[in-house]
Amino acid sequence: MHVISALSSDVYEVEFQEGSASMWDVFPDWNAHDRFGIVIYEPLAAIGATHLIQLACMCFYDIKPI
């Protein structure tokens, strides 16, 4: 099973600047050529970073599905 079969952008609830938003508010103008990287400085920051990585994956597959 591919990740695109298991996840959908509909399963994400996004809050941005204390309000309801979409993944396109977090990653505006995302396209299939964009890449994403994270630098973590705090010990538990990886927990929140995983959600950003999953959201970036959904942006990619919404733009360029299999």
Domain ranges in the chain are 3-63
pLDDT of 18 strictly over 70: yes
Contact 62, 9 (CB under 8 A): yes
State residue 56's pLDDT score: 83
pLDDT of 16 strictly over 60: yes
pLDDT of 20 strictly over 60: yes
Q: How many Å apart are CA 32 and CA 24, to the nearest integer?
A: 13
Q: Is 37 exposed, middle or buried (0-12, 13-18, 19+ CB in 10 A)?
A: exposed
Within its chain, how far is the Cα of 7 from the centroid?
11
Q: How many Å apart are CA 41 and CA 45, to the nearest integer?
A: 7
Collapse the DSSP code of 7 into the 3-class scheme (helix H, G, I; strand E, B; otherwise coil) and give the result: coil
- Please provide the average confidence, as pLDDT, over all residues in the chain: 80
pTM to 2 decimal places: 0.69
